[in-house]
Copies of this chain bind each other. A is one copy, B any other.
Amino acid sequence: MYKENYPSKLLEEAVDAINMLPGVGRRSALRLALHLLRQPQENVHHFTAAINSLRDEVKYCRVCRMISDDEICSICSDNSRDRNTICVVESVRDVMSIENTGQYHGLYHVLGGIISPINGIGPSDLTIRELVARVAELCGKEDGYGNAADLADGETGDGAMNGNAGAEVILALSGDVEGETTSFYIYRQISGFGIKVSSLARGLGFGDDLEYADELTLGRSIVNRQAFRP
C-alpha cells in the first residue's frame, strides 16, 4: 500500500475525490491528479465543466427513462421503430449495447437498477410501475394502479384474448439471481395483460469451445437446443 504523505492538502483532496471513482485506486488517482496538474488550466476547466453539465442538465426520456437531451428520447420519438415491442433493461448502458448490435428495432424501458434486497433496492425504487402502465396502454387495458388506458370494456387484465396480438415485452436482464428475480417479478405484473413475454436466449457464445463452457450453460444449451439452420 502506498503510504499517504502528500506534499499539499489540495493534492490530497483531489486524490481523495478521484479515488471515489470505481476501479480507480489511490495510486491511479495520484497519477491522474498530477496529470491534470500538468494540463493547461482551460483544459482542466473544460473537463470539470463537461462532467458538471452532464450531471446537472441531463434529462431522462419521459417514456422509457433513457438518457436524453429532450423530453422524449430519439428512440421513442423515431416513428420507424416497432412500437409494439418493449425491451426491458437494467441501465442506460444496456440500451447502448443492444443498439450497437443493430439487431433490435423496437422500444426500450430502462428500470434504473435491479431488485436487490441486499442493496436495499425494491420494486418501488425501479420504474416497474411506469413499465406496467406502458404495457397496459399497449394492450388497451387498465393497469393495476387504477390508471385508465384507452380500454374498450370494463375488464381488468386477466384474459389473454384481449391483448394486442403483436405486442411483446423482452426481459433483457442479467442471468444472475437478482436479474432472474426481477424478471419474474415483472412477468407476474404484466402476464395478466395477455402480452407475449420473452427473455434473451442463453447458451454457448458464438465461437465458444464446448470444452471451456461451464456446466450450467452447456446443460441449458442442450435443453434449449434449436432447429439447425444451415
The answer to whether A7 and B66 touch across the interface, beta carbons within 8 angstroms, is yes
How does the 8 Å CB contact mask read for A1-22 relative to B, with 1 for contact and 0 for none?
A: 0110111111101101110111
| A interface bracket (residues with beta carbon within 8 Å of B) | 35 or more
Q: Is A148 an interface residue (CB 8 A)?
A: no
Q: Is A47 an interface residue (CB 8 A)?
A: yes
8 Å CB contacts to B: which residues of A11-69? 11, 13-14, 16-18, 20-23, 28, 30-37, 39, 41, 43-59, 66-69
Q: Is A74 an interface residue (CB 8 A)?
A: yes
The answer to whether A92 and B51 touch across the interface, beta carbons within 8 angstroms, is no
The answer to whether B47 and A51 touch across the interface, beta carbons within 8 angstroms, is yes
Segment at the B interface, from A93-101, A114-122, A182-190, A216-224: A93-101
The answer to whether A14 and B51 touch across the interface, beta carbons within 8 angstroms, is yes
